């Protein structure tokens, strides 16, 4: 059984470390890997908005930097100015990152409850889509 409250607290704790001087929208993400490891990430804004890093990017990077594996359970929160957290949905780009790191079975705590990733990102694009167009004998499409 997953302790969603503890996972949400971990996301809130890391959201407090977010670097969000432009929007003030502090985001934290926490997940359990398939081996039980906790991985976290927070958003890091940049004056050149296009290079801002979402919390999910940091989390997926930490997953790979600490041994790889697959994500099994995930939550993302934002903090209000008083520090109270609220569960939020990942943006579309981040849903794709999560799909690649956890697949259809990844459980995501959403504002509407726990959903499998294939409900969060239906008809997702994945590695098997690239396999359909691969040129035999190469690694390239």
Partners of 71 in beta bridges? 33
Whether 109 shows a pLDDT value over 80: the answer reads yes
Report pLDDT for 126.
Answer: 87
Quote the tokens at residue 117.
Answer: 């990733």
In which band, very low, low, confident or very high, does the pLDDT at 112 lie, cut at 50, 70 and 90? very high
Report pLDDT for 138.
Answer: 67
Report pLDDT for 81.
Answer: 87
CA distance 100 to 110: 18
Whether 39 shows a pLDDT value over 80: the answer reads yes
56 is catalytic: yes
Partners of 77 in beta bridges? 28, 87
The average pLDDT across 101-118 equals 97
Q: Is the dihedral of CA 123, 93, 140, 67 positive or negative?
A: negative
Mean pLDDT of the chain: 94
Q: Among residues 45, 56, 100, 128, which one is catalytic?
A: 56
Instruction: Tell me the C-alpha to C-alpha distance, in Å, between residue 41 and each of 10, 26, 57, 131.
Output: 10, 11, 7, 31
The average pLDDT across 48-68 equals 96
Instruction: Tell me the C-alpha to C-alpha distance, in Å, between residue 70 and each of 38, 50, 63, 73.
Output: 12, 27, 8, 10
Give the residue among 91, 102, 83 at the shortest CA–CA distance from 17.
83
Q: Quickly count: other Cβ atoms within 10 Å of residue 63's Cβ.
A: 21
Instruction: Tell me the C-alpha to C-alpha distance, in Å, between residue 21 and each of 49, 63, 68, 91.
Output: 11, 26, 31, 20
């Amino acid at each position: 059984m997953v302790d969603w409250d503890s996972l949400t607290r971990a996301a809130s704790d890391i959201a407090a470390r977010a670097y969000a001087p432009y929007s003030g929208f502090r985001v934290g993400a926490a997940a359990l890997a398939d081996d039980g490891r906790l991985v976290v990430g927070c958003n890091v804004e940049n004056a050149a908005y296009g290079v801002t890093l979402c919390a999910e990017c940091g989390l997926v990077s930490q997953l790979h930097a600490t041994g790889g594996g697959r994500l099994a359970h995930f939550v993302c929160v934002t903090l209000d100015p008083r520090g109270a957290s609220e569960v939020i949905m990942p943006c579309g780009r981040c849903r794709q990152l999560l799909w690649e790191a956890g697949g259809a079975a990844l459980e995501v705590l959403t504002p509407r409850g726990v959903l499998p990733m294939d409900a969060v990102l239906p008809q997702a694009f994945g590695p098997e889509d690239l396999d359909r167009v691969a040129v035999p004998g190469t690694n390239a499409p």
